[in-house]
Structure 1
Amino acid sequence: MYADIVFTGGTVRTGATDVPVQDALAVTDGRITALGPDALTVRGPRTAVVDLAGGALLPAFGDGHVHPVLGGLGLRGVPVRECGSVEEIVEAVRLWADAHPQAPWITGDGFDPWLAPDGRFDARWLDVAVSDRPVVLRTTDHHTAWVNSEALGRAGYSTDSPDPTGGEILRRAASAEPLGTLREFGAVNPVLALIPPASHEVQVAALREAAAGFAAAGVTWVQDALVEPHHIDAWITAMTTGPGLPVRADLGFLLEPDGWRERITRFAADRDRVESEAPGLLTARTVKFFADGVIESGTAALLEPYTDCPHSHGIANWSPAELAEAVTAVDALGFRPHLHAIGDGGVRGALDAIEAAVRAGGPGDRRPVIAHAQLIDPADLPRFAELGVIANLQPLWAQSDPLMTELTLPRIGPERGGRQYQIAALLTSGARLSFGSDWPVTACEPLRGIATAVTRQTSDGTPEGGWLPEERIDTATALAAYSTGCAHQAFEEKEWGVLRPGMRADLVHLAADPVETAPEALARLPVLGTWLAGRRTHAADGTPDDLCARRR
């Protein structure tokens, strides 16, 4: 029987430990059927031959934490992502508002939180551009919103408004008047709830656009880490109509503290519906929790007070007892908990909740996920391996960029600042790792994350020798975190993640072998092709795809 496709003319880096490198690969009916010389013997008259042109074929990448619907919708507002100053943002808002006079709300997504001193953005700056319509802009991390005075008024935020549970309304220094900066979902969500929701058609279009960007980056599986009820229909429609999507996905249902017991009663039915309507393409086996906020906003939960705010330990979104109860309930329903935890207090709370679920449910192959794990107390580091917790890290964050130097380090000081993003330490402890981007927070291209994990440097090569260089890892290990690590997270390690006969042909063609590429050049290594189960989903045409681009 002849193969459908044969790849030859370059390096086939399998990702397997037994036979790591081959020189050819054959695919039939979406599965790998032969490697090396055997692959060349099944080439027939109708076999498509892909010349690797001296490049490398690898297992396609996964993304273990990403927000496709939210990110795709964010591309449709004011283009603030590449603005380099407050003045540029204000001008972009003015131009967009002038061009869209009928838009009732003006929104934008992904500006840098360090562009204003201490991350404090003033509503009056936006009032200069637009005063008669509400403006809502969100930072790259999505944990802060900058709004104008009209938006503050629509939300009912005034001098007399108390800080909401799970959020903070920043105030002017000389009064209790709201400044225009809202931190965390308790403060941001009441404003977002006033914005007319995007239609189903717009959500589907946004999802298709985002998925095309993932395919161009070599990604074939994603973990949607924040799925609200109306996102489910968008995913099913996008996956099962027209050309479908170039990625598979697992959906993570968002669970918030308010009314969580009632909310989880529908999760099993939603899971069954997703998996019956898009079998083999979509799963829905995850529940997402926010244990805390982010360090740059002073909202990540810390065990010790912030350096620049001695009275504050940040914001824990759940009480320890209730988080443990909710994670245990989710585990009992057969879902995998996926917990955002940034600060060492947030990480400890997440580990404690998972430990409670293990005690209640007994032994089992759970694979719970703690995402981000920016700051881990030394006593908690071995608990990841002990509890079988997957650390899903965003390697692109492990650099000394302005977010780190202007906001993060001043808030936690040098001792805690020196133990952030402990990628190598987690691996040494025996923990399982997967990598992700958290797009649209930062770029979705895995090669950029790999470059940072290997060098711990910014794109301009600073600092020399890398930031916290003891946490650097080698290229092969970083590649595995995006392939076998994500496949393990997805419970699909028998389907994809390495290249061997019988595995699904989820493949990425790079212009050169990344293991043999200089670390500083990895981020610029072109992705020439992507295949999902043998179906080509991306072909480089010489035009860079910047959908996922971010300066960070």
Structure 2
Amino acid sequence: MTRTLFHNGTVWTGTGTTAGALSIRDGRIEALGAEAQARPADEIVDLQGGLLLPAFGDGHCHPDHAGFEAMGPRIRDRGSVEEIVEEVRRYAAAHPEAEWIIGASYDATLAPGGMFDARWLDAAVPGRPVVLRAWDYHTVWCNTEAMRRAGLDAATPDPPRGAFARRDDGELLGMMFEWDAVDAVLGAAPARTTADLVRALAIATEAYAAAGVTWIQDAWVEHRAIEAYLEAARQGLLATRVNLGLRADPERWRDQLAEFAADRERVRALGGDRLTANTVKFFVDGILESRTASLLAPYSDDPCTRGMPLWPYEELLEALTAVDKMGLQAHLHAIGDAGVRAGLDAIEHVTAVNGPRDRRPVIAHVQVLDEADLPRFAELGVIANLQPLWARTDPAMTELTIPRIGAGRAARQYLIGSLLRAGAHVAFGSDWPVTDHRPLAGMPVAVTRENAEREPAGGWLPEERIDFDAALSAYTAGVAYQAFAERERGSLSPGKVADLVWLDRDVRQMDPHDIADRSAVRGTWLAGTRTFISPERSGI
């Protein structure tokens, strides 16, 4: 039996108290404070004045996408269309073996109205297909060769769940919005190999461990990715716990029910809790920037549309009810106020039909929330999974989002403070790679509602700011509750699993704007086992 003592810092327990030391034994917390100090230790971790707290979780992310972004082409941080095109050109030249060039995720604000032209990519790679996802992952920009290989041209009609951008003469521009249109292009590309998927998952979960995270919710898992997850787990390449959100397809969800059951059993057969498959993901609507999020009233800049519900409502009710009967947790993407209401109505229906149980449904994003629906989260036991980095005024918000929905609805966005005051369970996520996966990057925005330039002074929708303890809790106890694991993780007390993160300083005492760049994760422990230790000032 091995005992480890953490001392010479502050231990934030997540229960309203702090301590000066903590000891763990065989993967669980043994004691706090003076009692921990009094016991002999096999290993001592000097916190060097830093902060020890429950390890973070991420309640909504896409690790495979993030891993593939890291593998290239690297276009996320390019600051202009020209820089993106040059990186694609460089990557294509460096990888002559790649039949298709597939990358992500470009900044949609770099072209007027978020509209990008296939001809810009043609100039860089004329002979091979190029497909690039926008940072929202609901939109792609491709070159002419990709459309040719996919059999798309001016005569191709818009699909039921998607749209093709067109030039004035009706020719395809090279942009596809939402599922059917995006899949029309990507479906023509060779599928990722299991080996490539395993590599992407290893890259992503290692990055999460370095960020102090020990549990993540993959919120978009296709059936073909299950084998890669199983193989990564068998090889010991998952540096965090991962729960799989199996995507329900409106076109074939009845056939998927058997797949869901079989995939859950295959994962269970591995044993342990490093990999689970307890959740089904539903995309209720799209996104505001492409006018595909579902709104109660028409878009302010296009009164002819209220968005694009991705499920016929009766089908959504039937599918959710069937999944719930299987004992699986529902995880719904809902952006617009009509999408959120449809999700809440569907969950209410499921509860009435299937009866009470501890189901903990999740609605992720909750970008625009109608006032009448605010109390329903607590009433229905729905977890609001929010991405704090989105709750600020950045170019995407000012140039694309607010013009789409107008000032009135813009003031109903990301109501984190209101949801907490209404008694809702709130868990934070990143939607990585859409935005930064690091809790230390998201926390300052939740606390200040200001952007990197400290604007607007006092915060955007300042009444929705939350304090440090609430932000830390949303990343720890809130995510543990989402994972049905609050008895084991999410706070620090004797007997709980030793999922810990060590920060080099007490971020609660810092200027919030300095946290992302001037504080660091020094170590991460999953059930007492180090999954990350910084080589700098290790303290061990």
Q: One fold, TM greater than 0.5?
A: yes
> So what's the TM-score if we normalise by structure 2?
0.97
- Residue 3 (structure 1) shift: 5.3
Runs of at least 4 residues of structure 1 off by over 6 A?
none
Among 17, 20, 37, the residue aligned to 1:40: 37
Among 74, 79, 87, the residue aligned to 1:79: 74
Distance in structure 2 (CA, Å) of the matches to 1:31 and 1:102: 49
* Cα deviations by residue, 1:48-87 (Å, 9 ceiling, x for unpaired): 0000000010000000001112221232231101111111
Among 310, 313, 317, the residue aligned to 2:303: 310
Residue 210 (str. 1) matches residue 204 (str. 2): yes
- Matched letter for residue 147 of structure 1: C
- Residue 110 (structure 1) shift: 1.0
- Residue 245 (structure 1) shift: 2.2
- Residue 150 (structure 1) shift: 0.9
> So what's the TM-score if we normalise by structure 1?
0.95
Distance in structure 2 (CA, Å) of the matches to 1:108 and 1:199: 16
- Residue 91 (structure 1) shift: 1.1
- Per the alignment, residue 8 of structure 2 pairs with 9
- Residue 164 (structure 1) shift: 0.6
SS of aligned partner of 2:300: coil
Higher alpha-carbon deviation: 451-460 or 284-293: 451-460
- Matched letter for residue 148 of structure 2: G
- Matched letter for residue 370 of structure 1: I
- Per the alignment, residue 288 of structure 2 pairs with 295
Higher alpha-carbon deviation: 194-203 or 473-482: 194-203
Say whether the 8 Å CA contact 1:216–1:538 is kept in structure 2: yes
Say whether the 8 Å CA contact 1:373–1:421 is kept in structure 2: yes
- Residue 236 (structure 1) shift: 1.7
* Cα deviations by residue, 1:468-501 (Å, 9 ceiling, x for unpaired): 1111000110000010000000001011000000
SS of aligned partner of 2:250: coil
Among 416, 438, 442, the residue aligned to 2:431: 438
- RMSD after superposition: 1.2
Residue 151 (str. 1) matches residue 141 (str. 2): no
- Per the alignment, residue 123 of structure 1 pairs with 118
Among 213, 231, 250, the residue aligned to 1:237: 231
Among 398, 404, 410, the residue aligned to 1:405: 398
SS of aligned partner of 2:170: coil
Q: How does 1:30-109 map to 2 (within 5 A)?
A: 30-44=27-41, 47-109=42-104
Say whether the 8 Å CA contact 1:34–1:501 is kept in structure 2: yes
- Matched letter for residue 529 of structure 1: G
Among 165, 176, 183, the residue aligned to 1:170: 165
- Per the alignment, residue 246 of structure 1 pairs with 239
- Per the alignment, residue 476 of structure 2 pairs with 483
Distance in structure 1 (CA, Å) of the matches to 2:502 and 2:339: 39
Say whether the 8 Å CA contact 1:168–1:187 is kept in structure 2: yes
- Per the alignment, residue 549 of structure 1 pairs with none
Say whether the 8 Å CA contact 1:3–1:42 is kept in structure 2: no
Distance in structure 2 (CA, Å) of the matches to 1:517 and 1:141: 31
Among 320, 323, 329, the residue aligned to 2:316: 323
SS of aligned partner of 2:197: helix
Distance in structure 1 (CA, Å) of the matches to 2:169 and 2:340: 35
- Per the alignment, residue 547 of structure 1 pairs with none
Taking every aligned residue pair, what percent have the same amino acid on both sides?
54
Higher alpha-carbon deviation: 383-392 or 517-526: 517-526
Change (3 A) 1:162 1:332: same
Higher alpha-carbon deviation: 519-528 or 433-442: 519-528
Say whether the 8 Å CA contact 2:386–2:426 is kept in structure 1: yes
Distance in structure 1 (CA, Å) of the matches to 2:82 and 2:259: 46
Q: How does 1:382-421 map to 2 (within 5 A)?
A: 382-421=375-414
- Matched letter for residue 217 of structure 2: Q
Say whether the 8 Å CA contact 2:502–2:523 is kept in structure 1: yes
Among 191, 197, 200, the residue aligned to 2:191: 197
Say whether the 8 Å CA contact 1:253–1:287 is kept in structure 2: yes
* Cα deviations by residue, 1:296-329 (Å, 9 ceiling, x for unpaired): 1111111111111110111100011111111111
- Residue 28 (structure 1) shift: 0.5
Distance in structure 2 (CA, Å) of the matches to 1:9 and 1:157: 64
SS of aligned partner of 2:220: strand
Distance in structure 1 (CA, Å) of the matches to 2:536 and 2:148: 48
* Cα deviations by residue, 1:418-464 (Å, 9 ceiling, x for unpaired): 11000001111111000000111111000111111001111221221
Distance in structure 1 (CA, Å) of the matches to 2:31 and 2:253: 49
SS of aligned partner of 2:83: helix
- Per the alignment, residue 139 of structure 1 pairs with 134
Residue 184 (str. 1) matches residue 181 (str. 2): no
- Segments of 5+ residues of structure 2 without an aligned counterpart are none
Distance in structure 2 (CA, Å) of the matches to 1:70 and 1:502: 36
SS of aligned partner of 2:454: coil
Say whether the 8 Å CA contact 2:223–2:259 is kept in structure 1: no
- Per the alignment, residue 550 of structure 1 pairs with none
- Matched letter for residue 339 of structure 1: L
Distance in structure 2 (CA, Å) of the matches to 1:146 and 1:179: 9
- Residue 152 (structure 1) shift: 1.3
- Matched letter for residue 316 of structure 2: L
- Matched letter for residue 445 of structure 1: R
Q: How does 1:20-39 map to 2 (within 5 A)?
A: 20-39=17-36
- Per the alignment, residue 270 of structure 1 pairs with 263
- Residue 511 (structure 1) shift: 1.1
- Matched letter for residue 42 of structure 1: R
- Residue 266 (structure 1) shift: 2.0
Say whether the 8 Å CA contact 1:447–1:523 is kept in structure 2: yes
- Residue 280 (structure 1) shift: 2.2
- Matched letter for residue 360 of structure 1: V
Distance in structure 2 (CA, Å) of the matches to 1:181 and 1:140: 14
Say whether the 8 Å CA contact 1:240–1:278 is kept in structure 2: no
- Matched letter for residue 423 of structure 2: G
Q: How does 1:329-408 map to 2 (within 5 A)?
A: 329-408=322-401
Residue 538 (str. 1) matches residue 535 (str. 2): no
- Matched letter for residue 23 of structure 1: G
- Matched letter for residue 40 of structure 1: Q
* Cα deviations by residue, 1:5-33 (Å, 9 ceiling, x for unpaired): 0000000011013xx10000001000000
- Segments of 5+ residues of structure 1 without an aligned counterpart are 544-552
SS of aligned partner of 1:296: coil
Say whether the 8 Å CA contact 1:3–1:26 is kept in structure 2: no
SS of aligned partner of 1:297: coil
Distance in structure 2 (CA, Å) of the matches to 1:194 and 1:123: 17
Distance in structure 2 (CA, Å) of the matches to 1:332 and 1:114: 43
- Residue 542 (structure 1) shift: 4.4
- Matched letter for residue 527 of structure 2: A
Distance in structure 2 (CA, Å) of the matches to 1:127 and 1:474: 49
- Per the alignment, residue 223 of structure 1 pairs with 217
SS of aligned partner of 1:295: coil
Residue 510 (str. 1) matches residue 503 (str. 2): yes
Distance in structure 1 (CA, Å) of the matches to 2:198 and 2:12: 35
Say whether the 8 Å CA contact 2:215–2:241 is kept in structure 1: yes
